[in-house]
A and B are shown apart, each in its own frame.
Chain A
Amino acid sequence: MLKLSKYVLYDIVRSKVILAYTAFLFLVSFSLFNMEENSSKAILSLLNIILIVVPLISMIFTTIHYYNSYEFIELMLSQPMSRRKILLSEYAGVGLSLLSSFLIGVGVPVLFFSPDSIGFSLLFTGCSLTLVFTSLAFLTSVMARDKARGIGFALLLWFYFALIYDGLILLILFNFSDYPLEKITLVLSALNPIDLGRISIMLKMDVSALMGYTGALYKDFFGSGAGTLFTAGIMLLWIVIPLWLALRVFKRKDL
């Protein structure tokens, strides 16, 4: 499997898009840290990039890459190689290259300017979201028939996780405000990888606020050792399950 992903990775890290993405992340993070007097404000702006831009780019890039590699994947299929290996190699190649873009673009400035617990939770969230949305994009790509549909589907999914989902949560919170909703919100937030990542950063950045009334519950839960494991575990599921579904679809798919 490594044999193939090595070359996929080699191909992608030379692509202009991924270079531009890395440069964009690096310039933005670097200038944010340089512009703001206190790094917490830079971290805040960076947070928005990680929660919004990283998932978007990961999804769109993966989708376009998949459709551009369609004929190459066909060629690989004519080789003595299982479909599982081919898709996983592609995933590893795309995932690793997006991950290294992120780590160079955001990781290096963060380690340089803000190597504290907030910085590390930012990096954790960024890395997780990169892999999660790469997985999701593979799933939508193998399901959608053509490139336009695939990109459309990916955009919709991104929009859903980035914005609509939170709107729905707010709606629920207000419509059922008479009921005890703390635990339900906890579960709901785990059902959206962006929310989950956001909360894990919030626990470091807004710990003071989270210790306030209902907040203490989140802090107690997510802040504990078990909570950290929970967050990491759910993130892992968000990576593995879409990828596994994508594999299932891909195995039965006609190319």
Chain B
Amino acid sequence: MKNLLTILFLFVTGNVFANKIVVGKDKAISTLRQGINKAQDGDTILLNKGIYKEGTLVIDKAVYLIGIDHPVLDGENKNEILTLTGKNIVIRGIHFANAGYSAMNDYAALKIIDATNILIENNSIVNTSFGIHLANTINSVVRNNTIKGNNKSEHSSGNGIHLWKCSNMQIENNLIEGHRDGIYFEFVTQSSIQKNLSENNIRYGLHFMFSHDNSYLANTFRNNGAGVAVMYTKNVRMENNVFEKNWGPSAYGILLKDISNSYIKNNKFIQNTVAIHMEGSSRIEIEQNIFKENGWAIKVQASCDDNKFFQNNFFGNSFDVATNGSLVLNKFYKNYWDKYEGYDRNRDGVGDVPYHPVSMYSMIVEQNPNSLILLRSFMVSLLDKAEKAIPSLASENLTDDKPMIKPNKL
């Protein structure tokens, strides 16, 4: 928010001395290239409706480029369309189409390099390899954009919003679909990602690594080829996001690899093959999330420790918790498990018998994936019943000692 105010302030003060340059097919200045050339720092370029095919354009001064009635910048499937560098640049209301693809370079509809105080808003980007590509940029905002890829192969497609070495960024309210990764971060810090919808991307809805101290709030990641994967990062805050319908042999609501000191709170995980998959992760607090109808709600590899899972609600998951080893170094408490069959004599809302979230059958499936075919069979339910009756049969000693009788109010 602070960044945004700074930017707005700059624009407002700048405007006092600014000129307006009108570009249009029937105007004195008929190409955007001419317009950009004419513009001085602080000027506004008003781009009128029309289709502009001008190869690759570069803006390296502090101008506002404002589209009127969605003018189209067409890359004719061979060019990068617009490159920004410098500071205090605004791009608003432009329709970018058909940027080129190159195996060598990451061609994008809109590329921002070495920039500060950039605002990209209300644009639409269609049929491009990369959508918005930001590198080495700080204090910038990307919001209210619609980015739709052509959903080709993973190899020939780029990312929707791609950030490399950025900080203090705001990515907000964008819709991204049909790209390789919806949102991709590498070395991005101190940024906030909010209210975006990333769906139907070929690989990940959100993918980041080495990007510390970021927060992800109220985003929706839906039906992406492999869900969400985040790696090698600490101090991540993820709240109020929705992860749903990420289906596939290696698709995850969220895959946490080497993540530490982070919060995952108040999210909804619905109908994912694996809602949360953790490896090499520690000191993560996973609280007050809803896990509903996932194949596996939580898969924790033995390499994880000191994670806390509490006050989550588990409904209708095929498996609640699975592991390839032992989970004793992690804590589960005060979760609501719909499979819990204990009782509550003292009526304090907490079950008197511990719950074993790792069923014997889930260990069998872990060892022998083919035995998944026996899910819901009489034999498996007998196995589970036997395990409940004779807890010493349980192969994994992990328990939730304070299972809730009623779902936690979230």
Contact = CB atoms under 8 A, between A and B. Distances in A.
A59 to B, nearest CB: 15
A201 B370 CA distance: 18
Interface string A43-57: 010011001100000
A213 B369 contact: yes
State the majority secondary structure of interface residues on A.
helix
Interface in B297-319: 315-319
A167 B374 CA distance: 9
B377 A166 contact: yes
Contact of B295 (A37, A198, A206): A206
A194 B373 CA distance: 12
A41 B319 CA distance: 13
Interface stretch (A133-141, A148-156, A168-176, A244-252): A168-176
Nearest to A185: B373
A209 B375 contact: yes
A40 B407 CA distance: 15
Contacts of A212: 248-249, 273-274, 295-296, 369, 372
B interface, over-half SS: loop
Contact of B378 (A163, A181, A211, A213): A163
Interface stretch (A16-24, A214-222, A229-237): A214-222
B125 to A, nearest CB: 30
B378 A209 contact: no
A201 B293 CA distance: 14
Nearest to B315: A38
Interface in A91-121: none
Contacts of B377: 51, 166, 195, 198
B368 interface: yes
A198 B372 CA distance: 12
A173 B378 contact: no
Interface residues of A, number: 41
A14 to B, nearest CB: 32
Interface in B378-395: 378-382
B371 interface: yes
Nearest to B271: A208
Contact of A199 (B294, B296, B364, B373): B373
B249 A40 contact: no
A11 interface: no
A207 interface: yes
Contacts of B168: none
Contacts of B2: none
Contact of B373 (A52, A167, A189, A201): A189
9 contacts: A51-B377, A177-B368, A206-B375, A208-B271, A209-B273, A209-B295, A209-B319, A209-B375, A213-B250
Interface of B: 247-251, 271-274, 293-296, 315-319, 338, 364, 368-382, 407
Given A44-B316, A208-B247, A215-B295, 10 more contacts: A48-B381, A177-B368, A182-B370, A202-B375, A208-B272, A208-B317, A209-B295, A209-B318, A212-B274, A215-B372
